[in-house]
Structure 1
Amino acid sequence: MIIWVIAGLLGLATGLRIGWALVNKQSLVSTAMILALGSLGLVAALNWQPLTLLIDGVLHWPNISMGLSQVALITCAAGSCVMITTVASGRKPATIRRIAIAQYAVAGVIAMVSLVAFFTAEKQSEMAPEEYLRRNLTSGGNSLPWLLPLLYVLLALTLVSWAGLRYSNRSRRGRALFVFTIGIVLIVAASGFFFLRAVGTTGPVGVGAAATLLGCAMLVVAAGSLLPSVEDWFGSRRELRIIEPLLEELGRRQPDVGIGERPRGPLAFRVAERMSLISDALFLEASAANARKRVGATGRDTDDDEDENAEPESPAVPPEEQARAIAAWIFAGREGALEDGTPAFPGLGWLRQPSEYSDREWILEIALQYRTLTRANGANA
């Protein structure tokens, strides 16, 4: 049961990566992540004894699942290595692609050598995966087919662990990379224990403990892979709640900006699309208000060319106060609002996001200030 939970989580992470690759442009990183997670999930599934017996019976080769597990583990190491080296590399795309192909080629050669060594070894009676490892990863067993793949996995995943820890940070993707890297470190430790037994050393732990450690490592890798999707979902739900009042008000004023809106789709895309609608509506509202302000000040429909082409000045106030002024101006112009004391349009420069804010963060800050005003007004009412 635990093995299927692990395989299911890894399969879910793989499916999410496949879905993301289908929606977005396919990349080396996406392909590598799909290979790494899918292969690790296959390792977990192949070590479920009923499935192991079924595959061995269908292919008419005892313990063939263990040979396939070697190939899957090599593929996982290769995919992880390509993923981390691609993310960390600053070279040109063509050079990065050639390096990735070379890494896959090395892994393919090692996988072929491992399979040849497995098939040329003496056949053994059918047994459970843990019992097979206990018998073969000893000085008296047939440990030769395991030496090369375990050595490759150790070297490749050690590189992944080093790069993953180096590039981890406090961002959403950085936290996920850190959790993923912790899982890879545990896989390195389990592989090290297996390698020590393969070369004839008893090692600090037995096969059972190393297999348990490998299962824990798979769970951590699955958690690290699913973490961005989970955080994106909860974060997108929160952002939808924040922008909804502002989007509803601006949609009432500028109904044309909603033409062609896609009602369904990935949650993160829906949030980005609605923020784009808010940005367009804010620009239209601000342009109209600025035109009315000029007409009221000069009594003419147009200003001099110098005034029209002048760059609007950003206000010298904190970003929160700047966003609050924009939100107050929108809030004062809502339907049914009192006209007395209505804040005047602060100016086009107030719509420009501060240097420390991205476009998305700035729209979210204005929406947050507007939501605060609407909730405060509801409480007062």
Structure 2
Amino acid sequence: MIVWLIAGLLGMATGLRIGWALVNKQSVVSSAMIVALGSLALVAALNWPPLTLLIDSALRWSNISIGLSQVALVWCAAGSCVMITSVASTRGPAVIRRIAALQYAVAAAISAVSLVLFFLSGLQPEMSPEEYLRHNLGSANTSLPWLVPLLYVMLTSALVLWAGMRHSNRTRRGRALFVFTVGIALLVAATAVLLIRAVRTSHLVGVGTAATLLGAAMAIVAAGSLLPAIEDWFGGRRELRLIDPLLTELERRQPDVGIGERPRGPLVFRVAERLSLISDALYLEATMADHVAAANLDGAGVDVMADADRSGVSRGEQAMAIAKWIHAGRRTPRVAGPAGQGHFPGMRWLGQPESCSDREWILEIARQYRALDNSAAAR
């Protein structure tokens, strides 16, 4: 049950990466993540005894699923290595693709050597994966097929571990990379245990230790791969709730901005589309308010606040000025008047500060507007 749960998590993470690659432009990193996660999911599935027996019977070679697990583990290490080296590289896309192709070629050669050595070791009685490892590792005649793939997996995983720790940070993707790297660290530890068994020092560690470490590594790698999607989902739901009052008001006053809106689709795209609608509606409202102010002042331009310097104003204060202007006109047919507490602060105030992006600026305005809306509702 635990094996299938881990395989399911890895399969879900692989499916998300495939879906992302289909929606967006295919890249070396996306392909490498699909290879790494899919291969690790295959390792988990092949170690489920009923599936192991089914594959062995279908291919008419006892314990062939163990040899396939070796190959899958090699490709998991190769995909992880391609992913981390591509992310860390500063070279051009063409060079990165050539390096990735070289790494995959090495992995293919290691896989071929591993399968050849596995078949040369001869047929053995049908056993469970753990029994097979306990019976073969540490034996002079049967350890050789394990040395080549395990050495490759350990070396490449150690490289992934070093680069992953180096590039982890506090951003959303950085946190996911850190969790993924922790799983790779456990994979290195499991590989080290198997190597120790393979060189006939079996009295130090047991196969159960390696199996436990490998299971934990697969679960943590799956968690690290799913973490961005989970955070994006919860963050997207929170942002939708945040921008809903402002978007509702602006759509009431500028209904044309909603033409062609696609209400369905991935949550991240829906949030981005609604932020774009708010940006367009704010620009239309500002243009109308600017024209009204210019007409009221007989062509002299906008009021004094529009020409005031906002260099010493914080981002929150600037967003609050825009939010007050929108909030003051929430009962008007079209646009808030230029006079009063909620007067239009000017076009220069509508532009986002240099310290934040367009997305952060719209979210800040929505946050201030929601605070005003909640205060008004409380009163």
Aligned residue number for residue 374 of structure 2: 375
**In structure 1, what residue type is equivalent to 2:257?**
V
Which secondary structure does the structure 2 equivalent of 1:377 belong to? Answer: helix
Is 1:333 equivalent to 2:329 in the alignment? yes
Q: CA deviation at 1:315?
A: 4.5
**8 Å CA contact retained: 1:11, 1:41:** yes
Aligned residue number for residue 304 of structure 2: none
**In structure 2, what residue type is equivalent to 1:323?**
A
**8 Å CA contact retained: 1:180, 1:224:** yes
**8 Å CA contact retained: 2:242, 2:366:** yes
Aligned residue number for residue 157 of structure 1: 157
Q: C-alpha distance in 1, partners of 2:202/2:292?
A: 84
Is 1:295 equivalent to 2:295 in the alignment? yes
Aligned residue number for residue 348 of structure 2: 349
**8 Å CA contact retained: 1:36, 1:77:** yes
Aligned residue number for residue 228 of structure 1: 228
Q: C-alpha distance in 1, partners of 2:288/2:125?
A: 83
**In structure 2, what residue type is equivalent to 1:278?**
I
Q: C-alpha distance in 2, partners of 1:146/1:86?
A: 28
**In structure 1, what residue type is equivalent to 2:30?**
S
Aligned residue number for residue 359 of structure 1: 358
Aligned residue number for residue 306 of structure 1: none
Aligned residue number for residue 31 of structure 2: 31
Aligned ranges for residues 1-381 of structure 1 at < 5 Å?
Answer: 1-202=1-202, 204-297=204-297, 299-300=298-299, 314-335=310-331, 341-380=340-379
Unaligned runs of 5+ in 1: 304-310
Q: CA deviation at 1:314?
A: 4.4
Aligned residue number for residue 307 of structure 1: none
**8 Å CA contact retained: 1:251, 1:258:** yes
Aligned-residue sequence identity (percent) comes to 67
**In structure 2, what residue type is equivalent to 1:237?**
R
**8 Å CA contact retained: 1:193, 1:203:** no
> Could you state the TM-score of these two structures normalised by the residue count of structure 1?
0.94
Q: C-alpha distance in 2, partners of 1:43/1:150?
A: 14
Q: Deviations over 1:328-347 (max 9, x none)?
A: 00000112699894421101
Instruction: Kindly tell me the number of residue pairs found equivalent between the two proteins.
Output: 372
Q: CA deviation at 1:140?
A: 3.9
Q: CA deviation at 1:323?
A: 0.4
Q: CA deviation at 1:197?
A: 1.1
> Could you state the TM-score of these two structures normalised by the residue count of structure 2?
0.95
**8 Å CA contact retained: 1:183, 1:220:** yes
**In structure 2, what residue type is equivalent to 1:322?**
Q
**In structure 2, what residue type is equivalent to 1:36?**
A
Q: CA deviation at 1:250?
A: 0.6
